[in-house]
Amino acid sequence: MKSIKVVIYCRVSLDRREYTRQIEAITKYCKFNEYTIVEEFCEKETGKHKLRPELINMMEYLKLNPDVSFVVIDELSRIGRTSYVLETIEQLNAVKIGLISLKENLTTLNEDKTVNATATMITGVLASINSYELDTLNYRIKSGLLSSAKNGRVNGDTSTPYGYTKDEKRKMIINENEALIIKKIFELSLTMGAVAICNYLNNKEVSTKNNKKWRNTVVYFMLRNPIYKGDRRYLDNIFEVPAIIDTEFFDKVQKHLTSKSNNQGKNQTHQYMLNKQMIQCGICGKFFAPHLRSGNKESVYKCQSKNFINESCGNNNVNVAKIERAVTTLLVQNYGHNIKRKFNDADEHRIKISEIKIQIEEIEGFIKKQSKVEDNLIDLFTSGILNKTKLNEKLDVVKKEVSKLQNQLVNLKGQLEAHQSLINQKEAIIIAEGDDNHLIKLFQNKDILKSIVSSILVYPSKRRLTKFSNEVCTRVEITTTDGDMTNIFLSNYSKGNFSDEPTLPKVPYGYPSPE
C-alpha cells in the first residue's frame, strides 16, 4: 500500500506561546491514519497578516512537491481570517492537495482529488464565524477602552502622561511632584527653547517618568499636549481630566510657540549647501547642523551632540564658508573637466532611477510590515495578553528598525531626486563645463552634490598648518559615489580662500580615521 504524504502547519500568535500541543495532536492523528509527515511548517505570527513566512514557504514547497496529498492543521483559525482560509483552500485545490482540519473534522478534497463541495461550504461558514468572533472581540475591547476613558480611567497597564498618575480605581489624578515640573516647563518656555529647557532639567537631575534624560522633542510635545489644560484626547474624542495648567496660560504658550515657529529662518540670508544631514560626525555618528554664533560673528556647522549639556562628543565646529568652499573646490578640480561625460548620459540615469525605485518599494514594504507588527502588539496589549514591559521592549525593537529603514528611504529618495534633476539640467551642465564660475554654482546644487558625494565625515586633527600654538585643525573626509576618498584639512587660522584651503590628494581606503 502506497504511503500518503502530508505536511503539517501550526501557528500561534505570541512569542511566549508554543505550538507543541498542535504538533502532538496532528502527529497522533497522522499515525492513526498511517499518514507520513514529510515536512513541518510552524510559526509565531498573528493571523491578521496574510503574508506569513512559513505559510508562504509551505505553499512554495507544495508547488515543488506535488506528491504531497494533504496539509493537516488542528483548526481553521490557524490559517487566518475568512478570506485567507478560502484563498488558501483555492490555492491548494489548484495543485490537487487537500486541507484537513482536525477540530472541524473537515477534508476539502475527496479520495479521487475532486473538491468536496460540502466541506468547502462548511469551511466558509466556520471561517466566517471565527472572523466574526474576532471582530466582535476587538469591538468590545475598543468599546470598553472608550468607556474607560470617558469615565476618566486609565486603560489596562497604560502609563499616564508625565504629571499624572492613577488611583486605586484607575482614575487619572495629578501627581503633585511632577505637576510642579510641568508648570516650570511651561513657564520656562516663554523665555527658553526646548533644548535649553532640557539642559536645565538634566542639570537639575530631574528625570522623566522612565528615569531617562530629557530630550527637546519630549519637551516640545508636552508643551503642545492639551491634556495639561484638562482636555484628554482619545479615539477622536475629548474627555475632561484634572488640569495642571490653566487654559489662559496654556493658550499663551501655544501662541508663543507658534510665533517662534513662524519666525524660524526669517532672517536667514545664507542658503546652506551642506545641511539636511550631509555632514556626519566621525566621533559620535550624529549629523552636523548649521548654527549662527552669538553676535552674528560667523556661521558654523556643529555636531548635534553639543545641543545637550555633558553629552558633547567634543568634535570641532566647522566654519560654514570654509567647508563649503573646500568641498566645491574639490568637485571643480576632480569633476570639472569631465562633468559633461559624467552627467550627460540620460539613459544611465534612467537605469539608476529604476533601480532606486525598486529599492524604495522594497523598503516601504518593510516599513508597512513593521507598522502592522506595531498595531498587532498594541492589540495584544489592549486585550491584556501582553503586559506593559513586554510591549515597550518589543515596540523599541520595532521603532529602531523603522528608524533605520526610514533613514535609508530618505537617502534613496534624495538620490532619486538628484538623478532626475541631472536629466533635467542637461543644458546647464553643458554650459558649466570648463567655466569655474559656472561649475561652482552648479556644484552648489544639492541634487548634483548628492549624486557625487556619498558621505562627509568630520574628525578633529592633530595636524598643524600654521605656527599658532592655539590653532585648531579639522580633517574632513569626503567619499564620492565612485568610491574615491579625499581628506581636506581646515584650520581656524586659514583665510578661507580657495588657494588657502589645504587639501591632500586622494588616498586609498584604510587611511586611519581620527588621527
**pLDDT tens-place string over residues 231-251:** 887 666 778 888 999 999 999
What's the rounded Cα separation, in Å, for the pair 228 and 220? 13
pTM higher than 0.75 for the full model? no
The region, left, alpha or beta by phi > 0 then psi within -120 to 50, assigned to residue 122 is: alpha
Q: What is the pLDDT of residues 136-172, one digit of tens each?
A: 545 554 555 555 656 666 654 456 889 988 887 778 8
Q: Grid coordinates standing for 111?
A: 479520495
332 to each of 326, 421, 432, 499, 507, how far by Cα in Å? 10, 19, 10, 13, 18
**Sites in the chain below the pLDDT cut of 50:** 132, 137, 141, 156-157, 265-267, 427-433, 495-515
CA-wise closest residue to 130 among 87, 78, 77: 77
Closest Cα partner for 25 from 42, 8, 2, 46?
8
Q: Taking every pair of C-alpha atoms in the chain, what is the biggest distance, in angstroms?
A: 95
Alpha helix (H) ranges present in 304-345?
320-335, 339-343
Domain boundaries, the chain: 4-135, 164-263, 268-336+442-515, 338-433
Note whether 4-135 and 164-263 share their fold.
Answer: no
The total of other beta-carbon atoms located within 10 Å of residue 98's CB is 23
CB proximity list for 76: less than 8 A, separation 6 or greater: 85, 101, 103, 104, 106, 123, 126, 127, 130
CATH architecture group of domain 164-263: Alpha-Beta Complex (3.90)
**Rounded Cα distance, 120 and 126, in Å:** 10
DSSP β-bridge partners for residue 299: 292
Interatomic CA distance for residues 432 and 441, integer angstroms: 9
pLDDT by residue (tens digit) across 461-484?
A: 988 888 888 888 999 998 887 778
The answer to whether the beta carbons of residues 80 and 50 sit under 8 Å apart is yes
- Second CATH level (architecture) for the domain 4-135: 3-Layer(aba) Sandwich (3.40)
pLDDT recorded at residue 259:
83
